[in-house]
């Protein structure tokens, strides 16, 4: 459950995470050239659509988050993309919440952005598509772990009595991490083989892209 609903968190947590998320979004918008906006919007649409696919895990199923991959493909642009997608999910499906929009954006986008920053260059310069895929799988696990830690921290800071519930919630992230690793690895192996330029954030100008 990466979407914390309204009504659970205390005001200081909501305000603090909201401010941090706003900072991330401002960073993302500053890095974003006007002409990269269709790119961010369309990638956000694909990640949104991909998150609706239920991937089976044993008797249950998980929904993909792909935040590690988003961080690699969008850089800091992941913040506006995640914010906008979460706002639409709240409006269309009632998923997550309005006051927790900042918290949820931070929990999903920050681990993704960090993975993109640290592992992105390694993925792009990997010697083989399989190696790039393996790094992306690692990044996916780290991003899921980061999101789980963020959700746990937000709940814990709001009320320490959430601790046992948070431990149970943490377990639900294990199958997600497994599936995310498998699918993200496959996506990056595919992209590295077919169109390696897709793995660059390219937020500045379309002309900068090598042909």
Partner 1 sequence: MTLWPKDLRARLLAGFTALLCIAPLPALVPALAALVLVLALYVLERRALPWRRLLHLEAFLLLVLITVPFALPGKTLLTLGPFTASLEGLLRALTLAAKVTASVLLLSALFAETVPEQLGRALRDLRVPEPLVRIFLGLVRYLALIRGEMARLQQAMRARSFRPGTNLHTWRAYGWLIGMMLLRALARADRVEEAMRLRHYAGRLPHGAAPLVGKADLIRAIALPGAFFLILIWGLI
Rule CB under 8 A: which of 9-28 touch partner 1? 9-11, 14, 25
Token pair of 66 as six digits: 């792909």
Stretch that binds partner 1, among 83-91, 110-118, 124-132, 143-151 (CB under 8 A): 83-91
- Nearest to partner 1 of 142, 191 (CB atom): 191
Q: What is the C-alpha to C-alpha distance for residues 56 and 64, in angstroms, rounded to an integer?
A: 11
Token pair of 118 as six digits: 């640290």
Q: What are phi and psi of 202, to 5 degrees?
A: 45, 50
Is 184 among the residues that bind partner 1 (CB under 8 A)? yes
Comparing CA positions, the residue from 163, 147, 126, 130 lying closest to residue 64 is: 147
Q: What is the C-alpha to C-alpha distance for residues 110 and 142, in angstroms, rounded to an integer?
A: 11
Is 135 among the residues that bind partner 1 (CB under 8 A)? no
Q: What is the C-alpha to C-alpha distance for residues 69 and 47, in angstroms, rounded to an integer?
A: 10
- The count of residues in the chain is 211
State the SS3 of 135-158: HHHHHHHHHHHHHHHHHHHHHHHH
Q: Minimum distance between the CB of residue 124 and partner 1, rounded to whole angstroms?
A: 15
Stretch that binds partner 1, among 77-85, 106-114, 124-132, 142-150 (CB under 8 A): 77-85
Q: What is the C-alpha to C-alpha distance for residues 160 and 57, in angstroms, rounded to an integer?
A: 31
3-state secondary structure (DSSP) of residue 165? helix
Q: Which strand (E) or helix (H) includes residue 132? A: helix 129-158
- Scanning residues 158 to 177, which ones bind partner 1 (CB under 8 A)? 159-165, 168-169
Q: Minimum distance between the CB of residue 131 and partner 1, rounded to whole angstroms?
A: 16
Q: Minimum distance between the CB of residue 127 and partner 1, rounded to whole angstroms?
A: 20
Q: What track of x and - describes contact with partner 1 for positions 55 through 74 (by CB under 8 A)? A: xxxx-----x-x------x-
Is 156 among the residues that bind partner 1 (CB under 8 A)? no
Is 210 among the residues that bind partner 1 (CB under 8 A)? no
Out of 16, 129, 170, 182, the only residue in the binding site for partner 1 (CB under 8 A) is 182
Out of 19, 23, 63, 93, the only residue in the binding site for partner 1 (CB under 8 A) is 93
- Nearest to partner 1 of 98, 118 (CB atom): 98
- Nearest to partner 1 of 122, 200 (CB atom): 200
């Amino acid at each position: 459950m990466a979407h914390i609903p309204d009504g659970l968190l205390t005001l200081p947590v909501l305000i603090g995470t909201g401010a941090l998320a706003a900072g991330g979004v401002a960073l993302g918008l500053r890095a974003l050239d006007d002409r990269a906006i269709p790119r961010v919007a369309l990638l956000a649409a694909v990640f949104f659509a991909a998150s609706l696919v239920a991937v089976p895990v044993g008797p249950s199923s998980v929904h993909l988050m792909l935040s590690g991959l988003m961080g690699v493909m969008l850089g800091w642009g992941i913040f506006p993309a995640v914010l906008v997608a979460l706002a639409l999910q709240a409006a269309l499906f009632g998923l997550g919440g309005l006051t927790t929009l900042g918290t949820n954006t931070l929990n999903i986008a920050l681990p993704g952005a960090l993975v993109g920053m640290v592992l992105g260059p390694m993925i792009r310069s990997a010697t083989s598509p399989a190696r790039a895929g393996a790094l992306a799988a690692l990044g996916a696990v780290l991003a899921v772990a980061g999101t789980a830690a963020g959700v746990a921290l937000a709940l814990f800071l709001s009320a320490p009595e959430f601790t046992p519930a948070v431990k149970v919630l943490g377990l639900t992230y294990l199958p997600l991490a497994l599936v995310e690793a498998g699918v993200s690895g496959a996506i990056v192996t595919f992209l590295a083989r077919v169109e390696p330029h897709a793995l660059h954030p390219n937020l500045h100008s379309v002309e900068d892209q090598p042909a």
